[in-house]
A and B are shown apart, each in its own frame.
Chain A
Amino acid sequence: MFEILLNHYPVLLKGLTTTLVVSLSAIALGLVLGVLLAFGLTSRYRLVRWPCGLYRSFWRGTPILLQLLLVYYLLPEIGIELAPIQAAVLTLTLNTAAFQAEIFRSGISHIPAGQIEAARMAGISAWHTRRRIIMPQVFRLTLPPLTNEIITILKNSSLISVIAVTELMRVSEQIASRTFQPLETYLAAALLYLAVNLVLARLSAYLERRMTGGLATE
């Protein structure tokens, strides 16, 4: 296993970089979409709530592999040509947006209604209430589930190897077929995934400790 790591570390690192770039861009893009969706899900208007709910239901209720295949094969049919890596980022983004929306929705629902009422009574606009009062707290409240989501997306990014994106998993397959040492190779890859995820978990725990100050526990 360590032999594989030593002999093939340049390709493995390149694969790992792709894994990280794809996952983190999906997380970042999904965050924007997720926040919008969360507000859509908590909207006063049924016409907004309903499609947002349907979106969430589909992307949370079907296997991500199926979603990837659907996006990858469907887009060319309607005349959109995407490179595999773009299709991968798109799928992961659309998927994680649904999960992040649910995380934020739940976070928003945990903010005492009195705070929002107090803001509105003080004449703070709805937009400012969201931006200055709700969201800063929501990010702190949702850090643990958000970290889980990042780790999940990192793990799930392994399956974009099926549409030939040369990330960590794909690179490992290539090494395995060249060296005829599948066991050692996949163990090495597992170790890399594990290391990244452990670092992420630690980082999040550290951030959470630092951010707990001033948080309404209600």
Chain B
Amino acid sequence: MLDITLLWEMRGLILQGLWNTLWICFLGCLLALSLGLVLAALRLANPRLFGYPVACYVEICRGTPLLILLFLLYYGGPSIGLRLDAEIAGVVGIGLYGAGYFAEIYRGGFKSIPKGQLEAARMLGISPWHALIRVQIPQMARLIVPPGTNQLIILVKESALISIISVDDLTKNATTIVNQTFQVIEPYLAVALLYWLIIELIARSGYALEKRLANRQPRQAAPQGAPPHANG
């Protein structure tokens, strides 16, 4: 039978793991979101110069496991003088990896806005920067919220890999409890539930945001097609 008291006794480890998972994911996702935007904007601003390098970066992120990137940062870094704490390596790894995916998501958003709308803005003397934040981003937002939410969820799930480079996150601390108590089900199930809770929270916020943005613009129905999908 499930032993709840065991979890209560081990609450310190669980809470520490939760805290570490939360802040590392938060910073990692923030880095991924901003770096991804920079990459997409560079590609948009000067396709001839940045198109190919950004496309390569995206392919690399999509084609290699996050675990390899984490190992490169944490174990490979020191040989080129880059010494990172495991937590920081986690943030940087999640950030760099996620940026490739977000760059693609933003690009899809940028591409969806008719060029003429920007020309109209330019003809009124609205600067490219203002056109970006007032015309492009508000319209993109609605389109990129669903795949963006999906990607954030994937990153949170993939963040469990930082336990392998010795970060005391939820997964690592669950394993620690398993090893200390020889109970398998309780710690793993409890932690699975916590992940599920975080993810559900992100999913609901994304959904609420999507609805709010849709209300602001009663325009087109949500884009049809296979729902965003990805494993993690």
Interface residues of A (CB under 8 A from B): 57-58, 60-66, 69-70, 73-74, 77, 95-96, 99, 102-103, 106-107, 110, 141-142, 144-145, 148-149, 151-153, 155-156, 158-159, 161-162, 169, 172-173, 176, 181-187, 189-190, 193-194, 197-198, 201
Interface 1/0 per residue, B58-72 and A, CB below 8 Å: 011011111111011
> A145, B231: Cβ atoms under 8 Å?
no
Shortest C-beta distance, A165 to chain B (Å), equals 13
Bound together, the chains give a CA A99 to CA B71 distance in angstroms of 27
B45 is an interface residue with CB less than 8 A from chain A? no
The reply to whether A152 and B232 contact each other, CB–CB distance below 8 Å, is yes
State whether A158 and B231 are in contact (beta carbons under 8 Å apart), knowing that A63-B157, A65-B171, A183-B76 are contacts in the complex.
no
Instruction: Kindly list chain A residues whose C-beta atoms are within 8 Å of the C-beta of B72.
Output: 182-183, 186-187, 190
Instruction: Chain A residues near B66: list those with CB within 8 A.
Output: 155
Cβ of B70 to closest chain A Cβ, rounded Å: 9
- Among residues 85 to 121 in chain B, which have CB atoms less than 8 Å away from a CB atom of chain A? none
Residues B226 and A65 in contact, CB atoms below 8 Å apart = no
Contact A61 to B196, CB < 8 A, known contacts A190-B68, A194-B60: yes
Contacts of B232 in A (CB 8 A): 63-64, 152, 156
Contact present for B79 and A183 (CB under 8 Å): yes
Which residue of chain B has its CB nearest to the CB of A59? Answer: B231
Q: Which of B126-167 contact A (CB under 8 A)?
A: 157-161, 163-164
Please report the C-alpha to C-alpha distance between residue A103 and residue B60 in the assembled complex, in whole angstroms: 24
Q: How far is the CB of A71 from chain B (nearest CB, A)?
A: 10
Q: Which residues of B contact A70 (CB under 8 A)?
A: 184-185, 188-189, 192
Alpha-carbon distance between A60 and B69 when the two chains are bound, in angstroms? 23
- Give the A-binding residues of B (Cβ under 8 A): 59-60, 62-69, 71-72, 75-77, 79-80, 157-161, 163-164, 171, 174-175, 178, 184-185, 188-189, 191-192, 195-196, 199-200, 226-227, 229-232
Give every chain A residue within 8 A of B77 (Cβ-Cβ). Answer: 183
Q: Which residues of B contact A102 (CB under 8 A)?
A: 227, 229
- Say yes or no: A152-B63 contact (C-beta < 8 A), given A63-B195, A66-B191: no
Contact, CB under 8 Å: B62 / A66: no
Q: Are A145 and B71 in contact (CB under 8 A)?
A: no
Main secondary structure of the interface of B (DSSP, over half): helix
**In the assembly, what is the distance between CA of A61 and CA of B158, in Å?**
11
B79 touches A181 (CB 8 A): yes
A173 to B67, CA, bound (A): 11
* 13 pairs from A and B in contact (CB 8 Å cutoff): A60-B231, A61-B195, A65-B161, A66-B188, A70-B189, A144-B226, A149-B229, A155-B66, A159-B65, A169-B67, A186-B75, A190-B60, A190-B68
Residue of B nearest to A70 (CB): B188
Closest A residue to B184 by beta carbon equals: A73
User: How far, in angstroms, from A173 to B164 measured CA to CA in the complex?
Assistant: 12
Q: Chain B contacts of A176 at CB under 8 A?
A: 71, 75
A191 to B, closest residue via Cβ: B64
Which chain B residues border A62 with CB–CB below 8 Å?
157, 192, 195-196
Q: Is the CB of B76 within 8 A of A193?
A: no
Known A63-B232, A158-B68, A194-B64: A106·B226 in contact at CB below 8 Å: yes
Task: Give min CB distance, B94 to chain A, whole Å.
Answer: 13
Partner of B230, one of A57, A106, A148, A189: A148
Q: What is the chain B residue whose CB lies nearest that of A96?
A: B231
A70–chain B nearest beta-carbon distance, Å: 5
What B residues does A193 contact at CB under 8 A?
A: 63-65, 68
Q: Is the CB of A155 within 8 A of B65?
A: yes
A110 contacts across to B, CB distance below 8 A: 226
Residue of A at shortest CB range from B196? A61
Contacts of A156 in B (CB 8 A): 65, 231-232
Q: How far is the CA of A74 from the CA of B175 in the complex (A)?
A: 12
A51 to B191, CA, bound (A): 21
